[in-house]
A and B are shown apart, each in its own frame.
Chain A
């Protein structure tokens, strides 16, 4: 299992809001595919899949806040 964590988005940015999931649990994905879109400071940003496999769990819903380093989803390789 690989956790998908919120990456560093810039200095002083500690959290972002989940604005759009591109995938669902069970979807097959390739490394680098867009998984989820986040919003902060009127900017949206996509988090790519860190590994290929299957989406095993989505841990944050659209509208939820997430802190840098926290897990967004889990991928089964």
Chain B
């Protein structure tokens, strides 16, 4: 596939969501291959189609006071957290040019993250119980996607050094907050010596090109 990366830097969730939808429409109208968005968000909780009310451990008012908004969105999966210290990847990709296969797409997203971790010397793997990417110290990457007319949006997040307290207020993807890990947890401050986004772009391109 041929696609460009668009790094939005730090951007609020709602704006990035609107942009994904615009790019989806443009990809559909032009029958093009798509764009891969990179972003980092303010604190938000997003709830996918498999959201379970029991996954919210605090009410909306409490979460709003912590500076986190809540969004109900059309991706697969339960509640998850996004915030500073986390890289989010939104591949708005026309799967017609890759494989028209939902499971293969999710598998390939995981593969891109596993390759990214490999570059950092971390062993990442899949878990039979749940999609996403895990390490020996816990789950480091969550995913949830929506596919319309075989064009994907939403995507995958990788924990670099997020403020962990935000995971305590939910059961992320139905898990315990303690199951969540980050690159900082594994590598310590050394992580900041790496240019993470170029590594991620390369890993992603290796899988999808």
Contacts and interface: CB of A to CB of B under 8 A. Distances in A.
B131 A42 contact: yes
A41 B148 contact: no
Contacts of A20: 49, 74
Tell me whether chain A's interface is mostly helix, strand or loop, or mixed: strand
Contacts of B146: 43-45
Nearest to A13: B103
A76 interface: no
Interface string A6-43: 00011111000101100000000000001001011111
Nearest to B150: A45
B44 interface: no
Interface residues on A, range: 10 to 19
A52 interface: no
B101 A9 contact: yes
A10 B74 contact: no
A45 B76 CA distance: 9
Interface of A: 9-13, 17, 19-20, 34, 37, 39-46, 48
Given A41-B106, A45-B147, 13 more contacts: A10-B102, A11-B101, A11-B104, A13-B101, A34-B148, A42-B143, A42-B144, A42-B145, A43-B147, A44-B49, A44-B74, A44-B76, A46-B148
